[in-house]
Amino acid sequence: MRLSSDSRRSFLKQAAVGTAAVAAGPAIWTRPGFARVAKPSDELRFATIGIRGMGFTNTNSLLQQDNIRCVAICDVDDEVLARRSADTQERQGVAPETYTDYRRLLERDDLDFVVIGSPDHWHCLQAVHAMEAGLDVYLEKPLANTISECDVIMAAARQTGRRVQMGQWQRSGPHWRDAVDFVHSGALGNIRTVKAWAYQGWMKPVPILADESVPAGVDYDMWLGPMPHRPFNRNRFHFNFRWFWDYAGGLMTDWGVHIVDYALYGMNAPYPQSVMATGGKMAYPDDASETPDTLQAVFDFGQFTMLWEHATGIDLGPYGRNHGVAFIGNNGTLVVNRQGWEVIAEEEGGEALVQVPATPIYEGSDVHRHTLNFTNAIRHGEALNAPVDVGHKAAVVCHMGNIAFKTGRKIHWDQESRAFGGDEEANALTSIEYQNGWEMPGYTL
């Protein structure tokens, strides 16, 4: 049973203020019978908001499953819409309807869920409005662009009862789970340090470009959404939005949420007690990007420390890998990345202190496993591998690293108050003021 067209239109009329604003208060909508488990034979119908990059990767993965159809796509760029509409039609035989305003898409009465692949600064509004419209959400990482927005999304998921699967697809990777199981076995001994890193040699300088007129077919005001108005610049649009603070958090939140998530998972870690970070634009000091291309952050969890580091233009990271997590124990070190995992044993008297296990190789795509887990949750009630609380912790921890970098000092987190004590500068960086008539939804944890 789906929310009626009239009900969805009523929701969106209440949510809209003027031509762009969205009501701040939590107008909770749940579709009648939202807790039902769909029959396996039911066709699942979905829409994708933001379909240029990972939004289309996720859409393409979903369309490889049986009995599923993409009925609509939304993007602010007409060229992207036309291209992805054709790509989607090629895969499923029927072209999806196209939208440039996601609110109009959410008026549809034939949707079971939405995929959100828009830039980070849009995640909070679009995810919350989708949940209020009675829909489950497959949301690209990171959860949101600030700690406060992360809290809003998690609170909305709890209050609406909607499923939110984070695009942290490594959570569905069998070799990642095998590695964590070995860490949890205790065979490594006491683990006092965890390293997590992303060295990205493919990333070259972002060239400085002049501002220009908005390209034909681009709804730039909608792309900016709640962020400050700026002249159009191609550096801030499409892929490179990641390297500008208004819209994202650089490599710390782009790759960090994937890698840090498994460090936290392996250690069953709480939120950190303190964080300090240093770095800057050291590889390409004169390019157009804002976020640091070189960063080291130290997170203190009390019983262990986690070290994060990233670097652009370099591939040779720790243990000869360009990304990964290393759990460093008294008996040995386990290193895992997207290619597999291994254990490097400590020795005493020429004897290994830990038995090095055989590591099986799994065929298939972890992204496909992840989207299948999501649809199985909808069809059969299967537990999500990356629910909203997983996305929340990974994103918040990564945002802490960026806040420590911006303040230039050690910052201390109090989980009970969800604040950095009396540190006014650090606390101010946990949220952002929405602009252009948009208001942050009013859900609280």
Concatenating the DSSP letter of every residue in 46-100 gives EEEES-SSHHHHHHHHHTTSSSEEEEEEE-SBHHHHHHHHHHHHHHHSSPPEEES
Q: What is the DSSP letter of 143?
A: S
Ramachandran class of 164: left when φ > 0, alpha when ψ lies in -120 to 50, beta otherwise = beta
Q: Which CATH number fits domain 173-361+394-428: 3.40.50.10470, 3.40.470.10, 3.40.50.10860, 3.30.360.10?
A: 3.30.360.10
C-alpha distances in angstroms, 151 versus 35, 137, 298?
23, 16, 23
Given this model, what pLDDT does residue 38 score?
53
Answer left, alpha or beta for residue 322, where phi above 0 means left and psi between -120 and 50 means alpha.
alpha
What does the pLDDT look like over 205-217, one tens digit per residue? 999 999 999 999 9
Q: Where are the alpha helices (DSSP H) in 243-363?
A: 250-254, 256-266
Q: How many CB atoms lie within 10 A of CB 231?
A: 11
Q: Are the C-beta atoms of residues 264 and 397 closer than 8 Å to each other? A: yes
Residue intervals of the chain classified under CATH 3.30.360.10 are 173-361+394-428
Q: What distance in Å separates the CA atoms of residue 129 and residue 112, rounded to the nearest whole number? A: 14
CA pair distance 249, 402, nearest whole angstrom: 7
Q: Right CATH number for 5-170+373-387 from 3.40.50.300, 3.40.50.720, 3.40.50.10800, 3.40.50.1100?
A: 3.40.50.720
Summarize pLDDT for 168-187 with one digit per residue, the tens: 999 999 999 999 999 999 99
d(CA 200, CA 314): 6
What is the C-alpha to C-alpha distance for residues 413 and 430, in angstroms, rounded to an integer?
A: 11
**Low-confidence residues of the chain: pLDDT under 50:** 1-37, 39
Residues 198 and 313: their CA atoms lie apart, in Å, by 11
Compute the distance between CA of residue 386 and CA of residue 368 in angstroms, rounded to an integer.
Answer: 14
State if pTM tops 0.95.
no
Whole-angstrom distance, CA of residue 254 vs CA of residue 248: 8
Q: Which pLDDT does position 95 carry in this prediction?
A: 97
166 token code pair = 């984070």
Q: Is 412 left (phi over 0), alpha (psi -120 to 50) or beta?
A: beta
- Give the pLDDT of residue 42: 83
The answer to whether the CB of 194 falls within 8 A of the CB of 259 is no
List, for residues 349-407, the tens digit of each pLDDT value: 999 999 988 989 899 999 999 999 999 999 999 999 999 999 999 999 999 999 999 99
Rounded-to-integer distance, Cα 366 and Cα 283, Å: 32
CATH 3.40.50.720, the chain: domain bounds:
5-170+373-387
Q: Is 39 exposed, middle or buried (0-12, 13-18, 19+ CB in 10 A)?
A: exposed
